[in-house]
Amino acid sequence: MFMKSNNEFKNLEPMFKPKSVAIIGASRDPDKVGNIIMQNYINGGYSGDLYLVNKNADEINGMKSYKSILDVKKGVDLAVVAIPAKFVPQAIEECGKAKVKSIVVVSGGFAEVGEVELQNKMVEIADKYKIPLLGPNCLGVMDPRSRIDTLFLPTYKLSRASVGSVSFVAQSGAVGSTILDLISGEGFGLSKFISYGNAAQVDEVDILNYLMHDKETKVIVMYIEGIKRGKEFVELAKKITKIKPVVVLKAGRTEAGASAAKSHTASLAGSYKTHEAIFRQFGFTIASDLSELLYYAKIFASEPMPKGPNIAIITDGGGTGVLTADAIGSSKSMKLGTFSDDISKKLRKIMPVLVNIRNPLDLAGDADSKRYSDAITLLKDDESIDIIVVIALFQTPGADSRLAAELIRIKQLISKPMIVISIGSQYTEMHKIMMESGGLPVYDSPASAIESLSALYDYHRYLKH
């Protein structure tokens, strides 16, 4: 049904780091997609050359507009195409003649609505000129470093993420946009965002190939509905997780979902079990829901590999310590560690008499930054402890921004994974933002924290085996 290009020319670098961008379909009409994309470039701080192309305009909002990309007569690294589907093949032909280096087609109206011929024609032209083409029917790409942003969603609706090390790949525009929006509230930030829609030419294999070698990308997170080039994917899968962690959420886990996915992107979801087996074999981290994607991205973005599964819990709330111990007990990989005798004795000496020296270490509701600091400073050198989980409940009398600052300070002195669990509303949220800005990942429930640590440790074991 679909023609599939297999050429080797698909270098995506000009899509993410273009020195010049042309918006084909730029518009002064605020209801048009081309207008929003244009506005996002103008307001987003992109510092390369920007060319507007609109066959009906010489000028748009005071900026020069070209009738065709052929009129630009300067090198264009990336052309963003946002015009009705039927005009797209002609535009691609012109891009080819103009020696454009990469193309993102955000327009819909192709295979997803039965216009397979039109889509194939478009790909044929791009292939002829050896231009990598992303889309159609996609949100395109975002890179906070180069300020590339082809999204046709205004920033008030979808907050843009800050610069970071996680790259996010999404077949679905809706899933991609919600995740991208959520990332804006997280401390880890974004390296690259790619929504690839119909995957008419550039597909998940091309994208992963690029991200595998991208130095700005430390973690790859992906939402996929189907995999088109199974054999190539497996070849890639063997290599990629040896280089960096890949977190995957695959739709169609169940019959109901698979059937819905088929209708959505017209791609065969394939047997989920087959896919899952491949993911497991090659050390992918498998998420089963959107929220898990974020949890896992967070831990991989910030934490070093744990040497073992033994967790120390340090808390200012006894009950929350118990629930975290339960989360560890429910996990297949993690263990509640036992403090060494030596460290226990040292803790006994400096902790108030009412603090029981055992794991979880309940510092009590009046614990202040010093008590936390004293405990963590000792436990960071305890060889029987591999990971430190700090529960900081900012509702308690002793917890304030001094505690958050102290935890950020200690984090820099510690070589083991160290994460924080803080649960609450405004006052807590404020301190969460503070700690995450300081490089300390914060989780909002014991379960999400421990599941994330477990994913990190499982990946470590995969690399070691």
Q: How far is the CB of 323 from a copy of itself (least distance, A)?
A: 6
Residues with Cβ within 8 Å of 192's Cβ and at least 6 positions away in sequence, in order, are 16, 141, 142, 143, 167, 168, 211, 214, 216, 217
Give the total residue count for the chain.
465
Residue 423 touches a copy of itself, criterion: CB under 8 A: yes
Residue 290 touches a copy of itself, criterion: CB under 8 A: yes
Q: How far is the CB of 29 from a copy of itself (least distance, A)?
A: 13
Which x/- pattern over 185-224 shows residues binding a copy of itself (rule: CB under 8 A)? x-------------------------------------x-
The residue range among 55-63, 277-285, 296-304, 311-319 that interacts with a copy of itself, by the rule CB under 8 A, is: 311-319
364/371 Cα distance (integer angstroms): 10
Q: What is the DSSP letter of 217?
A: -
Residue 329 touches a copy of itself, criterion: CB under 8 A: yes
Which of 54, 172, 241, 310 binds a copy of itself (CB under 8 A)? It is: 172
Which of 85, 134, 148, 175 binds a copy of itself (CB under 8 A)? It is: 175
Q: Are 225 and 199 in contact (CB under 8 A)?
A: no
User: CA torsion 423→428→433→437, rounded to 10°?
Assistant: -80
Q: How far is the CB of 188 from a copy of itself (least distance, A)?
A: 14
Q: How far is the CB of 329 from a copy of itself (least distance, A)?
A: 2
Residues with Cβ within 8 Å of 416's Cβ and at least 6 positions away in sequence, in order, are 304, 306, 307, 380, 385, 386, 387, 388
Q: How far is the CB of 172 from a copy of itself (least distance, A)?
A: 3
Q: Which residues in the 87-126 window bind a copy of itself by CB under 8 A?
A: 113
Q: How far is the CB of 350 from a copy of itself (least distance, A)?
A: 19
Please give the C-alpha separations between residue 121 and each of 90, 125, 132, 136, in angstroms, as whole numbers. Answer: 10, 6, 15, 12
Which of 132, 135, 173, 283 binds a copy of itself (CB under 8 A)? It is: 173
Residue 426 touches a copy of itself, criterion: CB under 8 A: yes
Name the amino acid, one letter, at 342. Answer: D
Q: How far is the CB of 251 from a copy of itself (least distance, A)?
A: 4
**Exposure class string for 280-319: b at 16+ Cβ within 10 A, else e:** eebbbbbbeeeebbbbbbbbbbbbebbebbbbbbbbbbee
357/349 Cα distance (integer angstroms): 10
Which of 360, 420, 440, 455 binds a copy of itself (CB under 8 A)? It is: 360
Residue 156 touches a copy of itself, criterion: CB under 8 A: yes
Residue 165 touches a copy of itself, criterion: CB under 8 A: no
CB of 125 or CB of 392, closer to a copy of itself? 392
Residue 327 touches a copy of itself, criterion: CB under 8 A: yes
Q: Which residues in the 373-402 window bind a copy of itself by CB under 8 A?
A: 393-397
With CB under 8 A, what is the number of residues at the site for a copy of itself?
A: 78
**Phi-psi region at 109: left, alpha or beta (left = phi > 0; alpha = psi -120 to 50):** left
- Peptide bond before residue 360 is cis, with ω within 30 degrees of 0: yes
Q: Which residues in the 241-260 window bind a copy of itself by CB under 8 A?
A: 249, 251-257, 259-260
CB of 95 or CB of 363, closer to a copy of itself? 363
Q: How far is the CB of 287 from a copy of itself (least distance, A)?
A: 10
Q: Which residues in the 437-456 window bind a copy of itself by CB under 8 A?
A: 444-448
CB of 7 or CB of 159, closer to a copy of itself? 159
Q: How far is the CB of 227 from a copy of itself (least distance, A)?
A: 15
Which of 77, 225, 436, 458 binds a copy of itself (CB under 8 A)? It is: 225
Q: Which residues in the 43-82 window bind a copy of itself by CB under 8 A?
A: none
121/2 Cα distance (integer angstroms): 11
171/195 Cα distance (integer angstroms): 5
Positive or negative, the CA dihedral 182, 184, 189, 190 is positive
Q: Are 48 and 21 in contact (CB under 8 A)?
A: yes
Q: Are 365 and 397 in contact (CB under 8 A)?
A: yes
**Other beta carbons within 10 Å of 214:** 17
Residue 274 touches a copy of itself, criterion: CB under 8 A: no
- Planar angle of CA 120, 121, 122, nearest 5 degrees: 90
